[in-house]
Amino acid sequence: MFVVPQTRGTVLCCKCGISMAPNPANMCVTCLRSEVDITEGLRKHVTIMHCPDCDSYLQPPRTWIKAQLESKELLTFCVKRLETDLKKVRLVNAEFIWTEPHSKRIKVKLKVQKEVLNGAILEQSYVVEYVQQDNMCDSCTRYQANPDQWVASVQLRQRVSHRRTFFYLEQLILKHDAAAHAIKIKQMDQGIDFFFSNRSHAVKFVEFLGKVAPTKSRHDKQLVSHDPKSNSYNYKYTFSVEISPICREDLICLPPKVATSLGNLGPLVICTKVTNNITLLDPFTLRQCFLDTDQYWRHSFKSLLGSRQLVEYDVFNIEVVSPEYNLGGSKYVMADAEVARVSDYGKLFYIRTHLGHILKPGDRALGYDLYGANSNDIELDKYRGLVLPEAILIKKSYEEKRQKKRGKPRPWKLKSLDMELDESKGRANEQKLDTEYEEFLRDLEENPELRFNLSLYRNKDYQPSEMVSVSDGDDLPSVPLEELLADLELSEQEDGEDSMRE
């Protein structure tokens, strides 16, 4: 079939006479741009307010927006400052042009379109220069005037005899940068106080705590000053946040109502994990249940025995009685065990344990001694005829093997918050904190699930030559090097040198 080839017609430009594709203006692009400038009347220079302390920018009239150089947030802020100009044209693209970081200049290249002569659409690019003027925001101004001046405080408390929970929360706060707006952090008895210069920052921090731990909170406010002429009030806000006293590895006797609501679980259960939910495990039936925050605080029970009361046992014999179970990523095997307290070999205990997959004859384990414990628990008295086991094993003990590595540095380390320590307790309290922190580090080595949400860093002071032999550290848990992060620290001088090299 014969098809007639179609050719696109051309016309001559009415200004310069060159051949071109026809358009409504009958002008080539060069002549059209010489006749019409669609950027005329658009601002090419804009002044913006910048707070050098918190690196934020003023969005008129009173909003301060935090943004880094050449970030998406800063580009959005710069374009919004030209909102009135961009109503005249159509914005197609916007991008940064590199400038010296210390020049106090930000350049943005904008590409815009506009309908010109007889309906022709012209596209043109132009550069807008933003001049930064340093001006501290309200919160930084108050902080410079009085660093201890705060508007809202969060009092975080947990009614237990140790600080293991706070060591873990400190690492979560550091990883998520949740306390970035805190102007002061102070260690208190049974808790930590956080001080903020803005109420909204404190509310956001309380919400973060509710997502990582079972908490309940209440708030109050105190009038500081009142101006009757302008009818303005200044308050100081206090948020009281209490964390559940239930901790990981605690032995719990569930109240009858709670046990019934969980399908007759227990009543003796072990807490295996604490997030915003509490994970409970029955060590005799391997049933696992979860308590959310509302369920717990509705009944608000306490632990029967805590990790401070763990007793070390020697394992003499293990007989596996069930196949391996996988519950939430953790493995358990039921076994009959013959154990005795390390401090007293005069009494042998024949018990059932859920640790048959990791225990073998000759090992040591940590557990709760119910045979010699004197418990005055109200919930336990409600179960008439309940026969208590003589001991409940919680985890394998590596204390004897750790003696050979005592004093040796670890290949990893943790960061810590800039916190004012409570020095009123004296040296004895300081030694107690060091001991509890060492136990927390050991828990991280033994439990990969516990360190899953934390950031561990390589220790620069660790020398590979100081590594012990394989026989010394046999079966001793450690943190794999693949899980460690490099601790990057750049000073302002180094940062400036890098910029000069670019």
Residue 461's contacts (CB-CB under 8 Å, 6 or more residues apart) are 409
Domains of the chain: which residue ranges?
8-32, 38-138, 152-243+407-461, 250-404
Band of residue 147 on the pLDDT scale cut at 50, 70, 90: low
The CA dihedral of 116, 119, 121, 122, to the nearest 10 degrees, is -20
Check residue 379 and give its pLDDT.
Answer: 81
* CA–CA gap between residue 340 and residue 363 (Å, rounded): 11
Question: What Å distances lie between residue 16 and 11, 12, 27, 153, CA to CA?
Answer: 12, 8, 8, 73
Report residue 497's pLDDT band, with 50, 70 and 90 as the boundaries.
Answer: very low
Instruction: Enumerate residues 6+ apart whose C-beta is below 8 A from 118.
Output: 24, 25
Average pLDDT in the chain: 84
Confidence at 422, pLDDT banded by 50, 70, 90: confident
* Average pLDDT for 321-333: 87
**Confidence band, pLDDT 50/70/90 cuts, at residue 494:** very low
Q: Are strands 456-458 and 412-413 parallel, antiparallel or unpaired?
A: antiparallel
Residue 152 to residues 38, 70, 145, 203, 241, Cα–Cα distance (Å): 51, 33, 17, 9, 13
Report which of 155, 171, 160, 153 is spatially closest to residue 244, judged by C-alpha positions.
Answer: 160
Q: Give residue-wise pLDDT tens across range 396-415.
A: 988 877 776 666 778 888 88
Omega of the bond leading into 61 within 30 degrees of 0 (cis): yes
pLDDT at 233: 87
The answer on pLDDT for 480 being more than 70 is yes
**Nearest C-alpha neighbor of 242 from the set 186, 190, 203:** 190
Distance separating alpha carbons of residues 248 and 449, to the nearest angstrom: 12
Strands 232-243 and 152-158: parallel
Q: What is the percent of the chain where pLDDT is above 70?
A: 91
Return the amino acid letter for 457.
Y
Type of residue found at 142: R
Pick the CATH number of 38-138 from 2.40.100, 3.40.50, 1.10.730, 3.10.450: 3.10.450
Burial class (CB in 10 A: 0-12, 13-18, 19+), 357: middle
> Can you tell me the distance from the alpha carbon of 315 to that of 328, in angstroms, rounded to the nearest whole number?
27
The H helix count followed by the E strand count for the chain is 11, 25
Indicate yes or no: pTM above 0.75: no
Helix ranges (DSSP H) in 328-391 = 378-381
Interval 205-257: pLDDT, tens: 999 999 999 999 999 999 888 888 888 888 899 999 999 999 999 999 999 99
pLDDT, tens only, 285-326: 999 999 999 999 998 888 988 888 899 999 999 999 988 888
| Cα distances (Å, whole numbers) of residue 391 to 77, 339, 373 | 64, 9, 10
Is 421 in contact with 187 (CB distance < 8 Å)?
Answer: yes
